[in-house]
Amino acid sequence: MAKRKRQLTEAKIERMIKEGRGQGTGREYLPWLKIQDVPSEGRATRGLGWTTGRRHELLSDIERDYFYLLDYADEVTDIREQFPLLPLEETLMIAEQIGIEHPRDPRTGVPIVMTTDFLITCNDRDYARTVKPFNELENERTIAKFEIERVYWETHHLDWGIIIDKDIPDVMVRNIEWVHKEYHNEDVSELSTFTVRNVEQLLSVRLQDGEKISSACLACDQKLGLEAGTSLALFRHFIARKKWIVDMNERIIPSLPAVDFKVAISEYRLEAKDG
């Protein structure tokens, strides 16, 4: 019976490889692991990326938060999460050479394919990054697995590092999270260009004058006969598209004025992050 389970597990690994897991770039990349494949550490999410235009498989809160930072950064052109360290034989050899037990399926004992949380393309170079809460670095087994990962990327001549929760600026992340889903704002295509530009012009003047975000947005909705909340959604959209700039290191609070508000792009254009 144990042998049969081993064969099935090995067959699953082969099937995942044939499916294209861990292969491709940009929109075509398929993560090695999906949310349904593993128990999540926190609130697992599938976020539609600005950079890639695909949904990302994020298995923990810290992965989600780091993803927001990557997606917001202009110099990042690709984000590949749950990236497999293949071939499996390579990490098995590394583990044996450095005297560390290779991770195995707890039920079958079959060696599992290790993964790095993010493979990032930035300024035409690739970087491997693992993200973990600081308290997990006190776990000896976790550190041992990181050593296998470190040696793997070293042999592939790729920069690898660990990101902990203290490295992630919470205020900026929460601001990005607040505007993130409005990057692909459906109202932009449904509203006329004339209406969007009117919102842009009327709202930017009020915000530059220091009016509170919520009251300025409500005034624009009323003046233009728009459904309540439309201008606020467009405010988030313009921030996400970096058409408008605010201090992202200060929490965006709608009941307060926008901090250091300015118009970065004077004429509205709907375009992809890298377009």
Residue 74 corresponds to which tokens in the numbers above?
């202009």
- Euclidean distance between CA atoms 57 and 260, whole angstroms: 34
Which candidate, 232, 219, 102, 229, places its Cα nearest to that of 179?
Answer: 232
Q: What pLDDT score does 272 carry?
A: 43
Q: Are 115 and 131 in contact (CB under 8 A)?
A: no
Q: What pLDDT score does 7 carry?
A: 39
The number of C-alpha atoms within 13 Å of 217 and in the hemisphere containing its C-beta is: 21
Residue 44 has pLDDT above 70, yes or no: no
- Euclidean distance between CA atoms 201 and 6, whole angstroms: 64
> pLDDT, tens digit, for every residue of 105-157?
888 889 999 999 999 999 999 999 999 999 999 899 999 999 999 999 999 99
Predicted confidence band at 2 (pLDDT cuts at 50, 70, 90)?
A: very low
- Euclidean distance between CA atoms 85 and 81, whole angstroms: 12
Residue with tokens 């044939």: 18
Predicted confidence band at 43 (pLDDT cuts at 50, 70, 90)?
A: low
Q: Which residues contact 253 (CB under 8 A, 6 or more apart)?
A: 213
Domain boundaries, the chain: 2-168, 172-263
Whether omega before 87 lies within 30 degrees of 0, making that bond cis, reads: yes
**Sign of the C-alpha dihedral computed for residues 251, 252, 258 and 264 taken in this order:** positive
Q: What pLDDT score does 275 carry?
A: 42
What's the length of the chain? 275
Predicted confidence band at 5 (pLDDT cuts at 50, 70, 90)?
A: very low
> pLDDT, tens digit, for every residue of 209-227?
999 999 999 999 999 999 9
Q: What is the mean pLDDT of residues 59-79?
A: 96
Beta strands at 55-58 and 45-48: parallel, antiparallel or unpaired: antiparallel
Predicted confidence band at 101 (pLDDT cuts at 50, 70, 90)?
A: very high
CATH architecture of the domain with residue range 2-168: 3-Layer(aba) Sandwich (3.40)
Predicted confidence band at 42 (pLDDT cuts at 50, 70, 90)?
A: low
Which candidate, 51, 50, 58, places its Cα nearest to that of 82?
Answer: 58
Q: In this structure, how many other beta carbons lie within 10 angstroms of the beta carbon of residue 255?
A: 8
Q: In CATH terms, are 2-168 and 172-263 the same topology?
A: no
Q: What is the mean pLDDT of residues 236-263?
A: 97
Residue scoring higher pLDDT (229 or 109): 229
Q: Determine if the pTM surpasses 0.85.
A: yes
The CATH code of domain 172-263 reads 1.10.10.10
Q: What pLDDT score does 35 carry?
A: 86
Residue 57 has pLDDT above 90, yes or no: yes
